[in-house]
Amino acid sequence: MTREELKRKLGQRIVELRLKKGWSQADLERACAKDRQAIEKIENGKVNSTLFTLLEIANALEISLSKLVDLA
């Protein structure tokens, strides 16, 4: 898997989990104290997120980091 594929798949996973909670990007933004543009870039696979940012998103979604990055 290339870096670009990984970023895209991770972004899709975040969208999937966010929608499962019935949340908008704004809801996720508020829950993890990130701005909307940051969430949008992560979900669209435009940035290489830090591990800490992914942990913040996982915590906001009330899931483990391992569940967030389970891309299988």
Q: Domain of 8: which CATH number?
A: 1.10.260.40
Does residue 12 sit within a domain? Answer: yes
Residue 58 lies in a domain: yes
Q: Would you say residue 70 lies in a domain?
A: no
Q: Please tell me the predicted confidence (pLDDT) of residue 29.
A: 95
Structural domains counted in the chain: 1
- Residue 54 is assigned to a structural domain of this protein: yes
Residue 68 falls within a domain, yes or no? no
Does 72 score more than 80 pLDDT? no
Q: Residue 69: what pLDDT?
A: 94
Dihedral sign for Cα atoms in the order 19, 23, 25, 28: negative
In 1-72, alpha helices (H): 3-20, 25-32, 36-43, 51-60, 65-68
42 domain residue, yes or no: yes
Instruction: Specify burial of residue 55 (Cβ count, 10 A radius: 0-12, 13-18, 19+).
Output: middle
**What does the alpha-carbon distance between residue 15 and residue 33 come to, in Å, rounded to a whole number?**
17
Mean pLDDT, residues 42-54 taken together: 95
- Cα(46)–Cα(35) distance, integer angstroms: 15
Q: Which domain holds residue 37?
A: 3-62
